[in-house]
Structure 1
């Protein structure tokens, strides 16, 4: 079946609307607070993991030292994701708009 050249596909243009629903500003505040909590917990996990790593290294316990190293890496990764979350979402939003 051949498409009729006279038929034009409708162009749909929808953008995010900040005033479409009540409570959007409160939701932004909540998301910012959760991001802050995530960063604070990442710092706490980094401190605890560094202490565990130090205890493991000084007590000749390679298992404990290894767990501390993994904890340091995981807490740094969590902080990177929390800090870059807005940039990552905006990047993929822009990629999606180009499809």
Structure 2
């Protein structure tokens, strides 16, 4: 007997995230937290450098440097936003994903 393909879409494998399911979960969380901290510190440095380039370009009349400094400041601000909101973004889309049936 041949099963219609649309019936395969209704199969629920029953997979759900479980806290503490694997050994080393605490080490992984600690590692990701450390990487996030390192990235935030690097972003602060990038914002400082971009601000210096922006100011230097403005005061020397170098419009290209001024534009690159502004661009770097915006990119650093966007990175800071994403790094700070990473948990919330993942939690939001994970919750949206669980509501898909």
TM bracket (short chain): 0.7 to 0.9
Structure-2 separation of matches of 1:11 and 1:52: 55
Structure-2 separation of matches of 1:47 and 1:91: 31
Structure-1 separation of matches of 2:11 and 2:68: 57
Q: Does 1:83 align with 2:67?
A: no
Aligned to 1:32: 33
Aligned to 1:62: 63
Structure-2 separation of matches of 1:83 and 1:19: 25
Q: Which runs of 5+ in 2 are unaligned?
A: 5-9
**CA RMSD of superposed structures (Å):** 1.7
Aligned to 1:6: none
Deviation at 1:15, TM superposition (A): 2.4
TM-score, normalised via structure 1 length: 0.86
Per mean C-alpha deviation after superposition, the further-off stretch among 49-58 and 14-23 is 14-23
Q: Which runs of 5+ in 1 are unaligned?
A: 4-8
The number of residue pairs the alignment matches comes to 93
Which structure has the highest helix share of the two? 2
Q: Structure 1, residues 31-84: CA drift from partner, whole Å, max 9, x if none?
A: 100110111011000000000000000000000000000000000000000000
Aligned to 2:48: 47
**Alpha carbons of structure 1 residues 59 and 96: separation in structure 2 relative to 1, 3 Å:** same
Structure-2 separation of matches of 1:98 and 1:10: 15
Aligned to 1:96: 97
